[in-house]
Amino acid sequence: MLAIRLPVEIEERLDKLAKATGRTKTYYAREAILEYLDDLEDIYLAEQTLERVRRGETRTHTLDEVERDLGLAD
């Protein structure tokens, strides 16, 4: 369970959207949180990968190398 306090302006916008679409405010709050979490998880993974590359722990490959290794080179 999670309870959050929203500024009046956001609460009004959320209420208006919910009424206009027939969905609940909870639905939209959940969807917004899920989308934001997806973005944060992607950023965190990218930052971790970048650090491994910078430390030389992860090797990168050029597009030419990948195409050649997969037999897709011209």
Is 33 inside a domain boundary? yes
List pLDDT tens digits, range 23-58: 999 999 999 999 999 999 999 999 999 999 999 999
More confident residue, 1 or 50: 50
3-state helix, strand, coil in the chain (%, to 5): 70, 0, 30
17 Cβ neighbours under 8 A, 6+ residues apart = 23, 28
Is 3 inside a domain boundary? no
Q: Which domain holds residue 36?
A: 8-69
Q: How much is the average pLDDT of 8-20? A: 97
Is 2 inside a domain boundary? no
Name the residue type at position 74: D
The predicted pLDDT at position 47 comes to 98
Is 74 inside a domain boundary? no
The predicted pLDDT at position 74 comes to 77
| Number of domains forming the structure of the chain | 1
CA dist 19 and 27 (Å) reads 12
